Amino acid sequence: MRNILIQCLFCAFLLFGIWIPPLFIYFHHHHESYQNNTQESESLLSLEKYGHQQILHNPGQIPRPQVVTNPSDKEEPKNNDFNFSDPELTSGLLKYGLNIIVSKSLGYQRDVPDSRNAICLGKQYPTNLPTASVVICFYNEEFHVLFRTVSSVIYLTPSHLLEEIILVDDHSEYDDLKEKLDGYLETFRGKIKLIRNKEREGLIRSRMIGAGHASGDVLVFLDSHCEVNRVWLEPLLQAISKNPKMVVCPLIDVIDEMTFEYKASPLVRGIFDWNLQFKWDKVFSYEVEGPDGPSKPIRSPAMAGGLFAINRHYFYEIGQYDKGMNFWGGENVEISLRIWMCGGQLYIIPCSRVGHVVRNHLKRDPDLERAVIENYLRVVHVWMDEHKAHFLNRRPALKFKSYGNVSERVKLRKQLKCKSFQWYLDTIFPELEVSVNFW
């Protein structure tokens, strides 16, 4: 009887046991190569698709908030209003993800409409606010777009509050960003420090390089395709001066990448889903109630990443960024979780408005996409405790993917005595836990 049982077990092992590991490896590999193939076949989107309103978001990119439109506003130009047979337009779109003809025509400085709520106009700010170092990293940016970013900061920031603008060139390849840029920046002599990376470091490490050269009390990070609005800096500095552990973002208005029209954004807060994809979300009505409502800081579970202000010492105290992250993507969720879980606060200040061009990337960059995935894995393994299963179960192939060494970040979390991810879910972002079966 026992012999028969052993024989049966042996047969079962032959049938299943031997086959399971190779089958598992095959399916795992097949799944990954399927993902890679679909990515590659989509890697170049034609301009024709652009004409059909194809908007390609790289993972981690700042999304476009739903813009408030007035019925009296003039009708938006449609894509077929642009002359796509013009090689300057099409090559500019491929190179920069924006309409280079309009950008050039706007020149090096322009006025944008004041998008602030009327309540903000009456606010007074003390003159003795902390000073700011504005850090702008750029990689292959369109010359005029970059220059308008710098000139808007110079013209719309009180000189005594602007310690300096630190430009970090992340090893750009385009010629006009070399000597020509040096020459043009001479106009703002004294206020600009230009640092050129010897090799491409990616946004995350470039920001840390920029911060390392800063001497202002507050670091303000901006993308290289922004235009600040009136009285943009004072509300940010005032919030930080009251509480140095408060990290604040301006409300990000939209600069259309085709028309360069400046459009006011509604009040929003930043959130993310279980794929760590950042999104804008509507603000709870109780947050904007009362006469001061539309001007009150909005508590935000996450930041979009590109535009924020932080006390310089606090930036170092909470561990700046994760050096092990490449390019960009995921760092915004990482710093948001770190701020909230380790004793800080994160708010959007609606009286501070900065326009941002959401560039339309026509090419997919597989290197970048791989880096973003690895960055996400670093976030979930360091910060999300048992809840990382929700991320990993959505993308099972990632359970086996390497993400480098995170021991330093785990150590940092212990040193800072940060709270649990469960605390973050309970206190800051309960909607994420509720959404576990939906998103």
Q: Which residues bind Mn ion (CB under 5 A)?
A: 223, 306
Residues that bind ligand UDP (CB under 6 A): 61-62, 137-139, 141, 170, 200, 202-203, 206, 223-224, 305-306, 327-328
Q: Which of 268, 262, 354 is nearest to 303 (CA)?
A: 268
- Residue closer to Mn ion by CB (options 58, 241) is 58
Residue 280's region, left for phi above 0, alpha for psi from -120 to 50, else beta, is beta
Residue 210 binding result from ligand UDP, Mn ion, none, given CB thresholds of 5 to 8 Å by partner type: none
Of residues 61 and 352, the one with the C-beta less far from ligand UDP: 61
Side-chain half-sphere CA neighbours of 225 within 13 A: 23
Number of C-alpha atoms within 13 angstroms, CB side, residue 207?
29
- Number of alpha helices (DSSP H) and beta strands (DSSP E) in the chain: 17, 12
Q: Whole-number minimum distance, CB 326 to ligand UDP, in Å?
A: 9
Find the residue with minimal CB distance to Mn ion: 223
Q: Is 221 left (phi over 0), alpha (psi -120 to 50) or beta?
A: beta
Q: How many angstroms separate the CA atoms of 250 and 235, rounded?
A: 9
429-438: burial string, b at 16+ Cβ within 10 Å, e else: beebeeeeee
When CB distances are held under 5 to 8 angstroms depending on the partner's kind, the choice from ligand UDP, Mn ion, none that residue 141 binds is ligand UDP
Pick what 206 binds: ligand UDP, Mn ion, none; C-beta below 5 to 8 Å, kind-dependent.
ligand UDP
| Least separation in angstroms between CB 80 and ligand UDP | 25
- Closer to ligand UDP at the Cβ: 182 or 289? 182
Please, what is the minimum distance in Å from the beta carbon of residue 224 to Mn ion? 8
Closest CA to 103 of 113, 87, 89: 89
Of residues 264, 228, 244, the one with CA closest to residue 352: 228
Q: Is the CB of 361 or the CB of 409 nearer to Mn ion?
A: 361
The least distance separating Mn ion from the CB of residue 341, rounded to whole angstroms, comes to: 26
Q: Which is nearer to ligand UDP, 217 or 257 (CB)?
A: 257
**Among ligand UDP, Mn ion, none, residue 260 binds (CB under 5-8 Å by kind):** none
Residues 218, 133: contact at Cβ < 8 Å?
A: yes
Nearer to ligand UDP (CB atom), residue 138 or residue 429: 138
Please state the closest distance from residue 200 (CB atom) to ligand UDP, in A. Answer: 6
CB atoms within 10 A of CB 8: 10
**Residue 247 belongs to what H/E stretch?**
strand 246-255
Neighbours of 124 (CB within 10 A): 7
- Rounded to a whole number of angstroms, the minimum distance from the CB of residue 243 to ligand UDP is 27
**Residue (170 or 253) nearer to ligand UDP, CB:** 170
Q: Shortest gap between Cβ of 226 and Mn ion (angstroms)?
A: 8
Residue 224 touches which of ligand UDP, Mn ion, none (Cβ within 5-8 Å per kind): ligand UDP
